[in-house]
Structure formats: structure tokens, C-alpha cells
Amino acid sequence: MKKNDTCILTIHGYTAEGMGVGRTDQGMAVFVPGAARGDRLEVLLVKVLKNYAFGKILQILEPSPHRIEADCPHFGKCGGCDFRHLTYEEELWLKARRVHDALTRIGGFDLPVPEICGSPEVLRYRNKGQFPVGRNDTGTVYGFFRSRSHQLIPLSDCKLQSAESCALAQAVCRWADEMKVAPYDEQKHAGILRHIYVRQGRAGLHLTLVVRRDSLPGADDLVDTCREAVPALCGIVVNVNPDPGNRVLGRACRTLWGDGRLEDDLMGNTFRLSPLSFYQVNHAQTENLYACAAAWAAPDKDTEALDLYCGVGTITLTLAGRCKTVVGVEIVPAAIEDAKENAARNGIENARFLCADAGTAAAKMADEGFRPGVIVVDPPRKGLDEAAVKALCDMGPERIVYVSCDCASLARDAKMLFEQGGYRPTRVQAFDMFPRTANVETVVLLSREMPDDTIDIGLELDELDITATEPKAT
């Protein structure tokens, strides 16, 4: 088989990135974007390597029963979604198996396929949008990049975002045209407006403009245009990122109008969030996720707890009401400032926060003899570093609750925690935090004890005091 050959494939599964997988008559695996399990396809081979190839659908000969008509004209071009061609039930099926495959193949654990908690909302569930900005024949536009490129696909609407978020982005584009504020050109490192960053919470919507330099003509016009478009707007912040490269946010922020931070309620607590602070994007599903993590941490009034990668303190403050003391660690200074204020705002006095690298802080606390009964970790996509794994094992908690947005790094870290500290998964639960994308969130309880040498996969939602909601499919 060589490039530009065609073949007939039946799709039997999916890659971790969500591409369909089929095999040629010669047995070569072919990865096909936009395919569905059960499809019979005519495929053009666009790249052929030694043991596998990548293909492009030329014709759907027999559609899968799991295939549906995509409900977005940008699907297949914009890189925001992966699964608008699949039923939601099929999407949940493949995500549960993705978690299983990672934990068995990478982690080496003998596990059944875990349960997955579907998202209460599938459409417009995101409370955050970061839109790159460009210009075409119509003027300034916002959108998302085409998959695996920096080619901007202009949008007028996005079914992952709220209608208000899209209306706010459109208003910024109109203002940019009127004030002749040039979009950023990453090739020339020129222009001003880089990203439109919108967050939504209980207090309304919050806008951050990411700019190359802090020089915005017509600032009053920007405020008026945006407030007219979205009356629920509660604040506008300017974030300055002068550096070339792919990093979205710079380090410096200033409030242009209104409140410099967004306010929201989560797990019975009120949180204020700076633009630089991490916050989960699917509010309803986050409540399910954190309820699971807190229940599996199972602290009591005599327990000292540690929350690594604590962000603005969402999990930390959830644990605080259940344990003696809890320490939250986060490397982002703005997030730690938010976390301390959030604890005070909610009247929580048994939580303290450290601004430090998680691995370094954990190692220092282990050396000082800190021995928490439970540790919760919610690291970024890359997972734990070796220092953090060693420190967790040195502290020797009864339980480690690992919250992960990447099941491959989760499986790798779980294997290291088992090999170095004897911890292995005793409970696993997947959550669809990001419907219509290939991402999946997972909570794993790791313990040194294996009652009856069994592994309990999943949970009953009623035992976590969660209101189970049937997923809303498109």
C-alpha cells in the first residue's frame, strides 16, 4: 500500500484521539478521521508508514448505526469538536474504553471497562471560550484553528459555547474594525488583538482581551459596545502577552471596566476567579466530578489532607468541611491569591495554601514529616513529575485520589505509584467533562489495601448525593 491508493475498510474501533480504525485486506491498520464504528468506507490513503497509515473518507458505502448528521457547518474544518458525527451513546462508549485501554496497556492493571458519567448538557455546556482572532474579507473575525494547524476557521456561532459568549466575541470584532485595532499576526509578530477570552459564572460574563501591547484605542467604545451586546457583562480585563509562541495568556492583567474577577458558586461555596486561574469548563459535570473525588477521599474530622495542583481551591474547600485540616498547593500566584480569598469568603479556617511547584512542595513537606491521611492530585495534562510521585509515596497516605484530564499520563503515574509505593487502583470512574471532543476526565482511588483482592469500578450516583441527569443528545 502506498500514498494515494484507495481501499475499502470496515471501522472496528477508535484511536485515543477519536479517529476510526480499520484494517486493509493486507492487515495494515488505517486511521480515519470522522469515521464511526461499523462504517464501511472507501478510503484514500494520505500517509503510509511502515505498520500503519492515515486515510481520508472518499465515500460512505454503508453508514454505521452510530453515525448521525453533524449539526454544525464548521464540523470537520474547525478543530473544536471531534464527535459531532456520532450519537452521544457511542461517544460515551468509546471514552470509557479509552480510559480502560490506558489503564490496562500503559498502567498494566487488570481492569474491567469503567462506568462513565455522561454530561448533563451536551450543547453549549462550556463556561469558558478562548477565541483566536484574525481578519478576512469581511473584517475582524474570531473562531478556532483547524485541527493540527494555525489556520483560523471563522465562526459566527459555536455549539460548545453559550450564545452570550459568541455575541460578546462578535461585539469585540465590530469594535476592532471601528477602531482599526489590528489582529495579531503570529508570522510577523505584529498587530495587537490576539485572543478574545470569555468566562461565564453566576455573576454574569467576564471578558479578557489578550493583546500584544497594552495600547487600546477607543476603550470607552469597547465597553459600550460589549455592554450593549451582552447586558450581563460584569467586567473587562486586558491581559498583555508580548511574547511570540503559542501561549495564550501573558502574566500582566489590568481591569479596564467593572470587576477584575468573575464570581461563581460550586459545591456550596462561592469562588472568585482571576483570568489566570484554572477553573473547570463544565459546571454541572464538575459538581459530579468533585463530589466523587471528595467521597472517595473520605476524610473524617481527624484527617489531615493535602490537595496538590489546587487552583483556586475548589477541591480544597470541598474537603475542608470534612476533615481536620487541608493544605492546597498551586504554582500560579494569582490562583493562590484567589484560593486564600475564597477560603475567607466562605468562612473556612482549616485550609491553608502554598504557592509552589507541586513536586517541590510535596517533597519538602515529606522531608518535614507531614503525613496526610489522604492526598488529592489534579495535575495538568502532562501529569505528575517524578519528584511528586516520590513525595506522595514518602508521605504514605492511606488513600490517593487522582483526578485526571489525560488518561495516558494518569495510567503512567498510577503505574509508578504502584511500583514505588504499592498503591494501585481500587475504584475508577470516568466523567464526560467535554462532550463532542476526544477528551475525558477520570477519577481514580489508589490504595495500598485491596479488600478481597477485588477492584470496584464505578459508583452509584445516589451514594454521592448527585442528582443523576440523563445526557441530552443532539
CATH no. for 6-67 = 2.40.50.140
pLDDT tens string 143-195: 999 988 999 999 999 999 999 999 999 999 999 999 999 999 999 999 999 99
CATH of 128-263, one of 2.40.50.1070, 3.40.50.300, 3.40.50.1970, 2.60.120.460: 2.40.50.1070
The answer, yes or no, to whether residue 467 has pLDDT greater than 50, is no
pLDDT tens string 326-361: 999 999 999 999 999 999 999 999 999 999 999 899
The answer, yes or no, to whether residue 453 has pLDDT greater than 60, is no
In this prediction, residue 466 carries a pLDDT of 41
Residue 25, judged by CB atoms within 10 A of its CB (0-12, 13-18, 19+), counts as exposed
The answer, yes or no, to whether residue 30 has pLDDT greater than 60, is yes
- For residue 36, the Cα-to-chain-centroid distance in whole angstroms is 24
In this prediction, residue 450 carries a pLDDT of 55
The C-alpha atoms of residue 326 and residue 307 are separated, in whole angstroms, by 7
Give rounded-to-5 percent helix, strand, coil for the chain. Answer: 25, 30, 40
Tell me which residue of 40, 7, 35, 8 sits closest to 21, measured CA to CA: 35
The answer, yes or no, to whether residue 462 has pLDDT greater than 60, is no
Q: Considering the chain, what percentage of its residues have pLDDT values greater than 70?
A: 95
The answer, yes or no, to whether residue 289 has pLDDT greater than 80, is yes
Task: Count the helices and strands in the chain (H runs, E runs).
Answer: 9, 24
Tell me which residue of 361, 429, 415, 358 sits closest to 95, measured CA to CA: 429
In this prediction, residue 74 carries a pLDDT of 94
The C-alpha atoms of residue 258 and residue 203 are separated, in whole angstroms, by 12
The C-alpha atoms of residue 368 and residue 111 are separated, in whole angstroms, by 36
The answer, yes or no, to whether residue 469 has pLDDT greater than 90, is no
* Cell representation of residue 216: 487600546
The domain segmentation of the chain, as residue ranges, is 6-67, 96-120+282-464, 128-263
The answer, yes or no, to whether residue 454 has pLDDT greater than 60, is no
DSSP annotation of 456: E
CATH no. for 96-120+282-464 = 3.40.50.150
Q: Where are the alpha helices (DSSP H) in 196-248?
A: 219-229
Domains 6-67 and 128-263 share a fold: yes
In this prediction, residue 1 carries a pLDDT of 87
In this prediction, residue 457 carries a pLDDT of 52
User: How much is the average pLDDT of 88-105?
Assistant: 97
Instruction: Give the pLDDT band (50/70/90) at residue 452.
Output: very low
pLDDT tens string 393-435: 999 999 999 999 999 999 999 999 999 999 999 999 999 999 9
The C-alpha atoms of residue 471 and residue 460 are separated, in whole angstroms, by 16
Given a contact cutoff of 8 angstroms between Cβ atoms, the answer to whether 375 and 402 are in contact is no
In this prediction, residue 473 carries a pLDDT of 33
In this prediction, residue 357 carries a pLDDT of 93
List Cα–Cα distances, 170 to 134, 190, 282, 332, in angstroms.
12, 22, 23, 31
In this prediction, residue 148 carries a pLDDT of 83
The answer, yes or no, to whether residue 207 has pLDDT greater than 50, is yes
pLDDT tens string 242-276: 999 889 999 999 999 999 999 999 999 999 999 99
The answer, yes or no, to whether residue 37 has pLDDT greater than 50, is yes
Kindly write down the DSSP assignment for every residue of 354-414, as one continuous string. Answer: EES-HHHHHHHHHHTT---SEEEE---TT---HHHHHHHHHH--SEEEEEES-HHHHHHHH
The three-class DSSP label of residue 168 is helix
The answer, yes or no, to whether residue 459 has pLDDT greater than 70, is no
The C-alpha atoms of residue 265 and residue 267 are separated, in whole angstroms, by 7
Q: Considering the chain, what percentage of its residues have pLDDT values greater than 90?
A: 89
The answer, yes or no, to whether residue 458 has pLDDT greater than 80, is no
In this prediction, residue 474 carries a pLDDT of 30
- Residue 466 or residue 123, greater confidence: 123
The C-alpha atoms of residue 86 and residue 148 are separated, in whole angstroms, by 21
In this prediction, residue 147 carries a pLDDT of 86
Q: Which residues are catalytic?
A: 405
